[in-house]
Amino acid sequence: MTSTNFISTEDVSLASAILTMGVAQSQDAINITKRNGKKQYIFFFAKDNGEGEHHYKTNDLIKAWHDDDYVENNPNCYFAYIKQYHLNRNHLLDEIKQGDKMYVETVVKGKIALINPRADEAKIQDLLN
pLDDT in tens, 16-72: 999 999 888 887 778 888 888 888 999 999 888 877 777 889 999 999 999 999 999
- Return the pLDDT at 88: 94
Domain boundaries, the chain: 7-98, 101-129
Q: What is the mean pLDDT of residues 89-96?
A: 89
- Return the pLDDT at 2: 45
- Report how far Cα 53 is from the mean position of its chain's Cα atoms: 26
Q: How far apart are CA 22 and CA 114, in angstroms?
A: 44
This prediction has a pTM of 0.71
Q: Indicate the DSSP class of residue 18.
A: H
- Pair 82, 20: CB distance under 8 Å: yes
Comparing 40 with 2, the larger pLDDT belongs to 40
Q: How far apart are CA 42 and CA 26, in angstroms?
A: 12
